[in-house]
Homo-oligomer: A and B are copies of this chain.
Amino acid sequence: MAPKLGMTPLRREQIVQATIRCLARDGASGLRMKSVAREAGVSQGILHYYFTNKRAILIAALETVMADLNRRLEKLLEGSHDVQARLRATVRGYLELVDENRLFWIVFVEFWGEMMHDQEMSRINAALYERLRRTLGATVALGTREGVFRRVDPVEAGAVILALVDGLSLQRTFDARALTLERAARACEDAVSRYLAKA
């Protein structure tokens, strides 16, 4: 959505960051315009000037969280010349998100629930996931060309790797003691390298 005339991107960003903090604390079900205004340090009038309703704020927060996730993943995948090392670093970096940027991760999972009954949010997320699968898949395809990975459908491989990191991160969120970062990362790297290993 293009900002209205007179809006400052800085203030908009300040409201979005306040929304993310409110979401992490109260959840989507507990989110109130009033609390967001208080958290952002703006009047409810100002808040309504930037966002007409709760859903508009939610979508802005969703876009911010997703852009962050996508940026992190792309940065991780640029890290090394060795394609295997790069994929390992990516898997570990994604799993570390739960601890390092817990606020964003919590809000991301809360959005999964919201998307279940909101077509626009679901569409935004479907596009992100398509992109994540393709980004991961492209790294796998490169590894296949370099002869280090077996031949596999890149998008399917992207889906498998993304499922592993999402699923293990989710389990860690519920119970970080049962599944430490070290254990989750080792299990995930093991599963990915066996999945891509040549016969």
Chain A residues with a Cβ closer than 8 Å to the other chain, count: 55
List chain B residues, Cβ under 8 A from A160.
164, 168, 187-188, 190-191
**Interface on A for B, CB 8 Å cutoff?**
24-31, 106, 109-118, 122, 125-126, 129-130, 133, 153, 155-157, 159-160, 162-168, 170-171, 173-175, 178-179, 183-184, 186-188, 190-191, 194-195, 197
List 29 interface pairs A-B (beta carbons < 8 Å), by A numbering: A25-B117, A27-B28, A27-B29, A28-B28, A29-B113, A106-B116, A109-B113, A110-B113, A112-B112, A116-B173, A129-B174, A129-B175, A130-B175, A153-B187, A156-B183, A159-B168, A159-B171, A159-B179, A159-B187, A162-B167, A163-B166, A163-B171, A163-B188, A164-B167, A166-B166, A166-B167, A167-B167, A191-B191, A195-B195
